[in-house]
């Protein structure tokens, strides 16, 4: 963990808790302020108005490593949390050395060589803090796609920052007052797709941005973003050759060397299968692969993971996932999350896989990011259907959507009935929200009914869609899909990344080669019709590129469901899950929390049980929020058997 304060020496009167007994903020006092423990930090450095420290979290992982470097001649220093995968290449190209092993030193010297242009060349996942003494200049940098979180709060001219949200908000001057407008956004989307956090005046630094404080003046600058404006015009052979090279190099950079055991999360889909394919090409030792299985014909895709494992001779571990696992592990998930996020059971699956990795591997590569690279989300097809649907006259469309809402739910994941009901609900949200319109779980009226009146009064006036709409307005793509993909990099990708943080609890690192910024830059320029064709085929170009590389059963399969969990069925059939919901969402508990309408939640539970509606996403998100509150607001985390 990295944490620090900028501007503290000017704030002795306004922020008295920052001062030690000697009326001076020391490294020890700073560590105690952030962690609550009286201990010397592993490393600290002070410049004029700047104090940065770092402390191990207690769970060692490769990507959560801490690197620091100080130049005694200049007083400059750098602190890095995470990894710069192309460290050796950068050192050789710009610094004339192949022997610099310290990522923080490489970053500092590169900034001295190239200035702010250096940040875009750092290929990795990192939070980076740099102090340049002579210029009295401080940089706080987040990696291109936001793999590593960076949180900050500015109070009375003082910038507090940390890689851990709970440590940051534990400081009295920052605090843990809930922002009810952001709570509204969490409920709408089941996570927070924005950069204002659930706590008042506490923010996440956007991916690809840096904060600069120079002689006490603060600015925030975007150093990288994907551009969809200038599309390629290449032939199929050129695309194949260039993508194979880029994909292979993105994987190569993230392999940790012979002394570490490699692993991969393998669902049997195109993305994770492609990653395993390129790993196999670069490694001499066997790969440990991991997948989970839920019983049920609409949810079990383990057959395809086994095909890949046999083809590439991986040491495959299949983890059985039951309702009992979900009930016991969700407590750990909610308590360890920086902010509450609900992935309807997939978050628990990540935790289950993480618990099984350590015995067989030291790190895992994943296929996260492939849907954004190549246009693979089913919601992109929904966008196309909505465009045609909206051409129907309103006097026909409106009663039709209302009628479809009365369809009962089914046990299947993707039956026509389920699709029609969900489509008719989401099509009512504005198309300006692009793919995120299909991820909304309440209308304005439903949300008003859910909130207690006094809470709703504090929410009024807050637009939960503001940040998303602003992101889409930035997009420079010439078509709807391109602008959608741009927005997804700054919304739903963050959702996946927070899920992957869970496996660090077991000392396991997750690396995501498909979020290599060079791949994102390249695929952003591929025409949309090569990602999603007129016949509704998604990831068209990836299938073309990997034909002849992957087994035909993977490339040409037509039944991709998406790795998922039958949570809606478990809520109806599992006594363990029902007991969990009753314990944490019963009327007495809901009224005691004071945020929500207990009668409405009880009604949702009843409607879900009768299959009148699928309220699984809503109920699971409310459960996660209650568990998160107990750990982070009440200070009374629940006991977990995980």
Task: Verify that 181 and 73 share a domain, yes or no.
Answer: yes
- Reply yes or no on whether the pLDDT at 213 is more than 90: yes
Helices (H), 358-465: 370-374, 378-389, 394-404, 416-426, 444-450, 453-459
Same-domain pairing of 116 and 254? no
Are residue 306 and residue 209 in the same domain, yes or no? no
**Span 136-148, average pLDDT:** 96
Are residues 207 and 259 part of one domain? no
58/148 same-domain check: yes
| Residue 13 in this model has a pLDDT that exceeds 50 | no
pLDDT in tens, 85-108: 999 999 999 999 878 889 999 999
| Domain membership flag for residue 561 | no
Q: Is the pLDDT of residue 469 over 80?
A: yes
Does residue 448 contact residue 596 with C-beta atoms inside 8 Å? Answer: no
Full strand arrangement of the beta sheet holding 124-132? 66-70, 77-84, 124-132, 137-142, 209-214, 217-222
Do 321 and 216 lie in a common domain? no
Q: Residue 139 pLDDT more than 70?
A: yes
Q: Residue 19 sits in a domain of what CATH number?
A: 3.60.20.10
For residue 298, pLDDT over 70 is answered with no
The answer to whether residue 534 scores a pLDDT higher than 80 is yes
Given pLDDT bands bounded at 50, 70 and 90, which one contains residue 20?
A: low
Q: Are residues 65 and 134 in the same domain?
A: yes
Q: Domain containing 253 — which CATH number?
A: 3.40.50.620
Give residue 241's pLDDT. Answer: 98
Q: Are residues 166 and 120 in the same domain?
A: yes
CA–CA distance, 568 with 605 (Å, rounded to integer): 11
**Boundary residue ending a domain (495, 524, 555):** 555
At which residue do the structure tokens 């490699």 appear? 262
| Cα separation values, 584 from 98, 501, 617, Å | 56, 25, 15
549 found inside a domain: yes
For the residues 618-627, what does the mean pLDDT come to?
97
pLDDT at 61 over 80: no
* Segments forming the whole domain that contains residue 286: 236-375+479-555
Assigned domain for 79 exists? yes
Task: Collect all residues with Cβ–Cβ distance below 8 Å to 172 and sequence separation of at least 6.
Answer: 17
Mean pLDDT of 59-72: 81
Contact assessment for residue 11 and residue 2, using Cβ atoms and an 8 Å cutoff: no
Q: How does pLDDT run across 302-315, given as a tens digit for each residue? A: 889 999 999 999 99
- How does residue 639 score in pLDDT terms, banded at 50, 70 and 90? low
- The pTM assigned to this predicted structure is 0.94
pLDDT surpassing 80 at residue 229: yes
Task: Say if 113 falls within a structural domain.
Answer: yes
Q: Decide which of 527, 555, 583 is a domain's last residue.
A: 555
Mean pLDDT of 214-224: 92
Q: 356 and 211 in one domain?
A: no
Residue 133 lies in a domain: yes
Whether residue 121 is contained in a domain is answered as yes
Q: What's the pLDDT score for residue 637?
A: 67
- Greatest Cα pair distance, the chain, in angstroms, is 75
Q: Where do we find the tokens 């993508």? A: 243
pLDDT at 64 over 90: no
pLDDT of 565-608, one tens digit each? 899 999 999 999 999 999 999 999 999 999 999 999 999 999 99
Q: Going along 215-254, which residue ranges are E strands?
A: 217-222
Residue 289 lies in a domain: yes
């Amino acid at each position: 963990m990295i944490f620090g304060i900028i501007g503290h020496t000017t704030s002795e009167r306004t922020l008295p808790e920052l001062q030690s007994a000697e009326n001076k903020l020391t490294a020890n006092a700073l560590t105690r302020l952030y962690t609550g423990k009286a201990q010397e930090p592993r490393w600290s450095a002070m410049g004029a108005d700047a104090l940065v420290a770092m402390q191990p979290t207690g769970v060692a992982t490769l990507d959560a490593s801490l690197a620091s470097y100080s130049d005694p001649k200049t007083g400059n220093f750098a602190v890095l949390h995470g990894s710069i995968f192309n460290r050796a290449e950068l050192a050789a190209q710009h610094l004339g050395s192949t022997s610099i092993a310290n990522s923080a030193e490489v970053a500092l010297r590169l900034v001295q060589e190239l200035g702010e242009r250096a940040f875009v060349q750092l290929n990795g996942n990192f939070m980076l803090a740099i102090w340049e003494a002579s210029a009295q200049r401080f940089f706080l940098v987040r990696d291109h796609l936001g793999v590593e979180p960076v949180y900050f709060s500015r109070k009375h001219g003082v910038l507090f920052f940390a890689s851990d949200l709970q440590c940051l908000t534990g400081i009295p001057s920052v605090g843990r007052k809930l922002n009810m407008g952001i709570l509204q956004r969490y409920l709408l989307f089941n996570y927070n797709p924005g950069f204002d956090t659930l706590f008042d005046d506490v923010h996440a630094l956007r991916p690809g941005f840096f904060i600069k404080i120079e002689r006490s003046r603060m600015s925030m600058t975007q150093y990288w973003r994907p551009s969809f404006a200038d599309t390629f015009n290449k032939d199929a052979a050129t695309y194949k050759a260039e993508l194979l090279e880029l994909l292979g190099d993105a994987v190569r950079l993230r392999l940790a060397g012979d002394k570490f055991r490699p692993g991969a999360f393998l669902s049997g889909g195109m993305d994770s299968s492609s990653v395993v394919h390129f790993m196999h090409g670069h490694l001499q030792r066997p790969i440990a692969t991991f997948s989970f299985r839920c019983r049920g014909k609409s949810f079990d895709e383990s057959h395809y993971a086994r095909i890949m494992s046999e083809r590439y001779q991986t040491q495959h571990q299949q983890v059985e996932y039951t309702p009992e696992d979900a009930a016991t592990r969700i407590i750990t998930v909610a308590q360890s999350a920086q902010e509450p996020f609900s992935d309807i059971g997939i978050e628990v699956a990540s935790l289950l896989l993480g618990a099984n990795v350590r015995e067989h591997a030291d790190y895992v590569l994943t296929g996260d990011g492939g849907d954004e690279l190549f246009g693979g989300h089913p919601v992109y097809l929904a966008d196309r259907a909505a465009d045609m649907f909206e051409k129907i006259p309103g006097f026909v469309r409106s009663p039709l959507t209302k009628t479809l809402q009365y369809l009962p739910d089914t046990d299947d994941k993707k039956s026509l009935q389920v699709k029609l009901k969900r489509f008719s609900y989401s099509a009512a949200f504005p198309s300006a929200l692009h793919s995120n319109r299909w991820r909304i779980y309440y209308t304005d009226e439903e949300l008003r009914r859910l909130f207690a009146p006094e809470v709703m009064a504090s929410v009024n006036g807050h637009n939960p869609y503001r940040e998303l709409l602003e992101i889409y307005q930035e997009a420079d793509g010439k078509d709807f899909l391109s602008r959608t993909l741009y927005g997804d990099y700054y919304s739903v990708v963050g959702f996946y990344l927070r899920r992957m943080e869970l496996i660090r609890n077991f000392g396991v690192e997750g690396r995501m080669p498909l979020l290599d910024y060079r791949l994102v830059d390249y695929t952003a320029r591929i025409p949309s019709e090569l990602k999603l064709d007129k016949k509704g085929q998604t990831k068209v170009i990836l299938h073309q590129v990997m034909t002849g590389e992957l087994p035909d059963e993977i490339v040409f399969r037509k039944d991709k469901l998406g790795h998922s969990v039958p949570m809606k069925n478990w809520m109806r059939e599992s006594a363990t899950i029902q007991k969990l919901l009753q314990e944490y969402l019963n009327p007495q508990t809901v009224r005691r929390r004071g945020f929500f309408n207990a009668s409405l939640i009880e009604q949702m539970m009843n409607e879900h049980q009768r299959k009148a509606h699928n309220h699984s996403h809503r109920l699971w998100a409310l459960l996660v929020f209650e568990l998160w509150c107990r750990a982070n607001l009440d200070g009374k985390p629940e006991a977990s058997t995980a």
